[in-house]
């Protein structure tokens, strides 16, 4: 999602310069020496941000506290956003810990791979030692599953097999190839209700910014 410096609003909501983000927010523009420079904030749970200083600063909302779900006469709306119901405990008094990382970079957020840096920070690789009495064994190197041309956001297994979710960060249409156990993967693209959308064999095309969920056939 790309946003400018102006606030968004409408007839039922006063324009506010704050927006929401997930996992990272990146602000960038032309640098003093030429070229594009930027700053990404990688975060876990800090959902609200504001770009200030004419686009040169990022502000984070670390804590929001409220006593009611809505008010009957809110300051920034002509009508309530919901019922005036008390939400006891929402102020959450006491110490709070916020974790985030700062990533200065050259180029835009794609050049900085901000989404990958967020994964490295928030989803560190977990590893365990196999073998022993369990009889587990894997070669020291190799890849069971390889996806090229897109980012992988989830790999899960259910009673029907392996499910892989991918997304494209490219500004143009992308071609995604999937290999499973050394062979081109086959399967079908499914929607969020696991309903088949279209089949694919080894590769599929993604629109700019498209997300796709792939249900893979078990290799022969």
Q: In angstroms, rounded to a whole number, what is the distance separating the alpha carbons of residues 150 and 176?
A: 6
CB contact at 8 A, 87 and 6? no
Query: In sequence order, which ranges of the chain are alpha helices (DSSP H)?
Result: 109-112, 114-122
| Per-residue model confidence as pLDDT tens digits over 94-119 | 888 888 999 999 998 999 999 999 98
Q: Which residue has the higher pLDDT, 88 or 162?
A: 162
Tokens of 140: 């020291």
| pLDDT for residue 132 | 64
The structural domains of the chain, ordered by start, are 8-62+98-122 (no CATH), 143-216 (2.60.40.2220)
CB contact at 8 A, 168 and 174? yes
Tokens of 47: 């959902």
pTM: 0.75
State the number of CA atoms in the 13 A half-sphere of 120 facing the CB.
7
Over residues 188-217, mean pLDDT = 93
Q: In angstroms, rounded to a whole number, what is the distance separating the alpha carbons of residues 171 and 166?
A: 15
| Per-residue model confidence as pLDDT tens digits over 116-150 | 999 899 887 777 776 666 666 777 777 889 999 99
Q: In angstroms, rounded to a whole number, what is the distance separating the alpha carbons of residues 79 and 11?
A: 10
CB contact at 8 A, 41 and 114? no
Over residues 150-168, mean pLDDT = 92
| pLDDT for residue 220 | 75
| pLDDT for residue 76 | 85
| Per-residue model confidence as pLDDT tens digits over 31-62 | 676 778 899 999 988 789 998 888 888 899 88
The fraction of the chain above a pLDDT of 70, given in percent, is 95
CB contact at 8 A, 101 and 121? yes
Q: In angstroms, rounded to a whole number, what is the distance separating the alpha carbons of residues 149 and 167?
A: 9
| pLDDT for residue 204 | 92
């Amino acid at each position: 999602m790309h946003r400018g410096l102006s606030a968004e609003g409408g007839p039922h909501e006063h324009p506010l310069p704050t927006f929401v983000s997930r996992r990272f927010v990146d602000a960038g523009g032309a640098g003093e020496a030429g070229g594009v420079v930027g700053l990404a904030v990688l975060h876990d749970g800090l959902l609200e941000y504001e770009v200030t200083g004419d686009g040169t600063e990022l502000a984070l909302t670390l804590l929001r506290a409220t006593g009611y779900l809505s008010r009957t006469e809110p300051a920034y709306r002509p009508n309530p956003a919901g019922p005036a119901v008390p939400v006891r405990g929402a102020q959450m008094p006491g110490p709070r810990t916020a974790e985030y990382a700062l990533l200065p970079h050259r180029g835009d957020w794609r050049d900085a791979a901000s989404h990958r840096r967020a994964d490295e920070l928030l989803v560190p690789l977990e590893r365990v030692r196999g073998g022993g009495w369990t009889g587990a064994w894997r070669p020291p190197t190799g890849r069971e599953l390889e996806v090229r041309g897109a980012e992988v956001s989830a790999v899960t297994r259910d009673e029907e097999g392996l499910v892989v979710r991918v997304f494209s960060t490219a500004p143009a249409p992308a071609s995604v190839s999937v290999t499973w156990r050394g062979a081109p993967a086959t399967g079908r693209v499914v929607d969020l209700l696991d309903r088949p959308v279209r089949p694919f064999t080894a590769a599929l095309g993604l629109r700019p910014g498209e997300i796709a969920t792939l249900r893979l056939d078990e290799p022969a």
